[in-house]
Structure formats: structure tokens, C-alpha cells
Amino acid sequence: MTDTSAIDQRLMELEIKASFTEDLLDKLDQVVVRQQAQIDTLTREVIALRQQTYTSSDNVARSVQDELPPHY
């Protein structure tokens, strides 16, 4: 009887650990998906900013005055 109850107890502990592991895996998967979405958004923004920079530098001649911060 004690062997069966010890095995049942051990099996229950393993099932609990597996359940927590599955929950943790789901949470980590959600974090990875959210981070990938942020990376994709930032990549698109960098591409757009590069295009703006190339477009504005091609069309407008800049002077040193344009580069100075407004407090000067």
C-alpha cells in the first residue's frame, strides 16, 4: 500500500510541476510574440526614418545654422 501511495504522490507532484511548466512556457511564448511585434514596429520606423532622411537631404540644401540646437 505504501508503494502505491508513494507512487501516486510522486505522480501528482510531477503533474503539478508539468502544469506550472506549461503555464510558464505559455507566458514566455506571449512575451516572445510581443517582443517580435515590437521589433517589427521599430524596424518599420527605422526604415521610414531612413527614407525621410534620404529624401530630405536630397531635396533640401542644409546649412550649419539648421544643425544648431534652437537655444543657440
Could you write out the three-class secondary structure of the chain? CHHHHHHHHHHHHHHHHHHHHHHHHHHHHHHHHHHHHHHHHHHHHHHHHHHHHHHHHHHCCCCHHHHCCCCC
Write the pLDDT tens digit of every residue in 29-53.
999 999 999 999 999 999 999 999 8
pLDDT greater than 80 at residue 57? no
Q: 60 pLDDT band (50/70/90 cuts)?
A: low
User: Would you list the domain boundaries of the chain?
Assistant: 22-50
Locus of grid cell 505504501: 2
